[in-house]
Structure 1
Amino acid sequence: MSYETSRGDNGSFYDGCIRTYGAATRLMGEVWEEVVGKPMETLSGSPKTRFREALRYYEEAIRRGGAPSLDGMLRKAAAADEVLRSLIDESLDKPDAALSQDVDDVPPTVFKDAIREEAGEQASDEPVDIDLDQFLRGAVARVVRTMTWRRRLNVGENRHFPRMIQWVREIQVETTWNDRVGLRLMNKSGAGRVAAYPRGPHGLKVRIDANWL
């Protein structure tokens, strides 16, 4: 069996968690059928709901001990894709925590306001550069407080990042005035164009110019 975990860049990048949940659920169905010997029951609902149902099947089967290789086979199947691997590992290790919240539960205005507030706090008299992972952690902390969540979203190469970077880029567009930019996404080196679809924040930074925020 061939496990297909790749996601087409253009169509899926901005789908954030939703597309990742769909890909993970399909993968879980393939592994289930191979290990258990029959298809998983039909799942229904939103992508997150279907993923939750599939995860419950896995939890129950692993708890009963009837399919001891399910856990290892699923982790192995997801290992080639960092975003899927992150979701699968987190979900198998802590099922309730993994499904408690994700970035697509955040209204765009809430996250974008957090980006603007963090940029305003980090701004100085002169343009300042901040590593993207550090900047996003500050913005996420604001989001968590606004949403009154108990756990914060991880910043890194995971299912949350595509949506986060989308909102950073939207703020960049909204703060662009001719050749001046209030919040600019850049490579840390300062050279070259940022990849159209970066997989994580490492190697990236933001440049904040308070005069154009």
Structure 2
Amino acid sequence: MKFIIKTLTFIAILLLFSQVRTYGEKQDDIYIKIDLWTNRLLVFKENEVTRQYDISPGNEQTPTPIGMFTVVGKSSGWGGGFGSRWLGLNVPWGDFGIHGTNKPTLIGKNVSSGCIRMRNKDVEELFDMIPQGTRVYIEGPLTGMGEGEFKNIAYGSKGNLVQLVQNRLKAMGLYFGPIDGIYDKGTENAVKQFQKLNHLPVTGGVSIREYTLLGLLE
């Protein structure tokens, strides 16, 4: 039986964001908001949209990370599938960034490996406009397209689903490590404790049963 993600947007916003809809801390702040529901990247200054671009994010197999990140690196001349510019993000469980593409006809489709693809002319404009340290807020479905399932996760898994589980386990006083989206031994041990408390088979992995008891699925 397939379980469709019903409360995904609200869970992601509640657990992965601490701000309200206005993200700028100061009137002259510049920041980026990436909306995976519409596949658009918006640049804000003084909490007003100054630029908008079409993008291509990840798919259900390789979803784009959801959350609050920072531009931690900028480089040019990558070429090939990375296009003409790269803006790296501090996603804790992998190398993700905003970059160009050699396949501009695919812009607008969910086809990347988790990064944000832009047309080269657009990413070049963004590159010149955005300094290192700029905040990037990514909102959307954790599965990449909004129609997928909560996949089983276990030791070695990475991503937003791991992050959500870590958050819930920490709130329950069972997990004491970082909420970094990396399913390490500490996360596995916390899951085992949760399973014991709920009289479940102690596997150390998370399936639909655990997601439901953690309150992540209805």
TM-score by length of 1: 0.30
Greater per-residue strand proportion: 2
TM-score by length of 2: 0.30
Larger radius of gyration: 1
